[in-house]
């Protein structure tokens, strides 16, 4: 726990900045539950998958390759919850379709999906299928995976989309629909912000579709945590984060708390279309709540997916 963690206030539910994934899931028996976690080979996704298994859940964990996911699961040691590795490269349409097929073939219903995988601040413009790579990986890949699995969700299934406070750095338009390729101007942080804005808008659009059902979709900011996410940042940034971690940043255990809370805590049941930080609902940037923008993103995402190789 950082120095700030000691003094940070806790919310009405008793959880806050310094809560860990183990703390927010204490006493919750997840045996018999199946939870899909993307990007569990590293960082907070790994810790989320570990703690869900610790509580007995069967975790379907995605990695870019099966070997990577299996290796990550082995590193967790022996845990009560079973693990199934699902290869899924989120910048590759065929890999995503295969992952959807594999998950469907398991014949299991999903109690929750934690859309956690992500990349950040690529220094130069990179693309997948002509779309800027952060937008494709962080949003389109998850849009495709989750919409392809909606009928696998249980009646009370939860979709948890890992966004970031960096969504506040998204372009003024929220989403630049006329520049999804990035070719009309690219900035690493604006592009990351746009992809994280898309994460919230996607959760909101999904939440609208879930209204009147027991299913829910929420988005979250996990905190600032030193993980492999910073691999594209200058080395000096990594040193600064290493210095700042004991003072004010979250540990990986703390960083995994909010998504674990949203995926399994009973008090979240029925909460739909919200945005959380430190296990508390907060207000995102105003346009992240704009239903017209969320619908436009949904329609554009469908058009992009439609054009991808089958
Ligand atoms: N750390 C923070 O301070 C922070 C703050 C706000 C939001 N977040 C969000 O938290 C989430 C998890 O980040 P983290 O900090 O735990 O980062 P991380 O340690 O880099 O983990 C990211 C995970 O996503 C996977 N991934 C990346 N690109 C992928 C692709 N194309 N296909 C499949 N998997 C892919 C990575 O796999 P590989 O290891 O194979 O690349 C890894 O398993 C991200 O969505 C991030 O935006 C983090």
At how many degrees (to 10) do helices 291-307 and 188-210 cross?
100
Is the C-beta atom of 72 inside 6 A of ligand 1?
no
DSSP 8-state secondary structure symbol assigned to residue 139: I
What distances in angstroms separate CA 269 from CA 25, 28, 135, 141, 200, one per listed residue? 14, 14, 29, 26, 19
Is the C-beta atom of 90 inside 6 A of ligand 1?
yes
* Atom 4 of ligand 1, nearest CA residue: 224
Q: Where are the domains of the chain?
A: 28-222+269-304
Given this model, what pLDDT does residue 63 score?
Answer: 98
Given this model, what pLDDT does residue 146 score?
Answer: 98
Taking the C-alpha atoms of residue 261 and residue 273, their distance in angstroms, rounded to an integer, is 15
Given this model, what pLDDT does residue 281 score?
Answer: 98
301 class by beta-carbon count within 10 Å (0-12 exposed, 13-18 middle, 19+ buried): buried
Is the C-beta atom of 222 inside 6 A of ligand 1?
yes
> Cβ atoms within 10 A of the Cβ of 80, count?
12
Taking the C-alpha atoms of residue 71 and residue 96, their distance in angstroms, rounded to an integer, is 20
What does the pLDDT profile of the chain (310 residues) look like in tens digits?
Answer: 999 999 999 999 999 999 999 999 999 999 999 999 999 999 999 999 999 999 999 999 999 999 999 999 999 999 999 999 999 999 999 999 999 999 999 999 999 999 999 999 999 999 999 999 999 999 999 999 999 999 999 999 999 999 999 999 999 999 999 999 999 999 999 999 999 999 999 999 999 999 999 999 999 999 999 999 999 989 999 999 999 999 999 999 999 999 999 999 999 999 999 999 999 999 999 999 999 999 999 999 999 999 999 8
DSSP-assigned beta bridge partners for residue 162: 220
Structure tokens at 281: 């609902």
Taking the C-alpha atoms of residue 76 and residue 80, their distance in angstroms, rounded to an integer, is 11
Given this model, what pLDDT does residue 310 score?
Answer: 85
Check if CATH label 3.60.20.10 holds for domain 28-222+269-304: no
Interval between CA 116 and ligand 1 midpoint (Å): 7
Interval between CA 213 and ligand 1 midpoint (Å): 30
Instruction: Ligand 1, residue 224: give the atom nearest the CA.
Output: 3
Active-site residue identified among 4, 17, 129, 186:
186
Candidate from 118, 160, 219, 238 with most ligand 1 atoms within 8 A of CB, to mutate: 118
Is the C-beta atom of 213 inside 6 A of ligand 1?
no
What distances in angstroms separate CA 75 from CA 50, 66, 69, 251, one per listed residue? 9, 14, 10, 18
Candidate from 222, 242, 258, 277 with most ligand 1 atoms within 8 A of CB, to mutate: 222
Interval between CA 283 and ligand 1 midpoint (Å): 23
CA 110 to chain centre: 16
Whether 186 sits among the annotated catalytic residues: the reply is yes
* Atom 37 of ligand 1, nearest CA residue: 39
């Amino acid at each position: 726990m950082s120095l700030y963690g000691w003094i940070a206030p806790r919310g009405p539910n008793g959880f806050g900045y310094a809560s860990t994934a183990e703390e927010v899931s204490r006493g919750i028996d997840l045996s018999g539950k199946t939870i899909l976690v993307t990007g569990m080979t590293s960082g907070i996704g790994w810790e989320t998958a570990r703690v869900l298994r610790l509580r007995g859940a069967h975790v379907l964990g995605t990695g870019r390759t099966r070997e990577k996911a299996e290796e990550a699961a082995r590193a967790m040691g022996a845990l009560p919850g079973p693990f199934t590795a699902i290869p899924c490269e989120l910048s590759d349409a065929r890999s995503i379709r295969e992952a959807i097929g594999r998950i469907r073939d398991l014949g299991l219903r999903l109690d929750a999906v934690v859309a956690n995988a992500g990349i950040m601040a690529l220094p130069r413009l990179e693309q997948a299928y002509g779309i800027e790579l952060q937008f494709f990986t962080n949003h389109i890949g998850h849009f495709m995976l989750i919409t392809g699995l909606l009928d696998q969700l249980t009646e009370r299934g939860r979709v948890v989309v890992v966004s970031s406070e960096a969504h506040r750095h998204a372009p003024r338009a929220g989403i630049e629909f006329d520049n999804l390729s990035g070719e009309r101007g690219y900035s690493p942080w604006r592009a990351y912000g746009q992809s994280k804005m898309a994460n919230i808008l996607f959760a909101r659009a999904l939440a609208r579709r879930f209204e009147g059902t027991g299913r829910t979709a929420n988005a979250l900011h996990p905190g600032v945590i030193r993980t492999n996410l910073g691999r594209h940042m200058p080395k000096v940034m990594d040193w600064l984060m290493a210095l700042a971690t004991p003072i004010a940043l979250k540990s990986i255990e703390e960083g995994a708390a909010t998504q674990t809370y949203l995926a399994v805590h009973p008090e979240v049941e029925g909460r739909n279309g919200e945005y959380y930080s430190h296990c508390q609902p907060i207000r995102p940037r105003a346009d992240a709540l704009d239903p017209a923008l969320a619908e436009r993103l949904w329609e554009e995402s469908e058009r992009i997916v439609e054009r991808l190789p089958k």
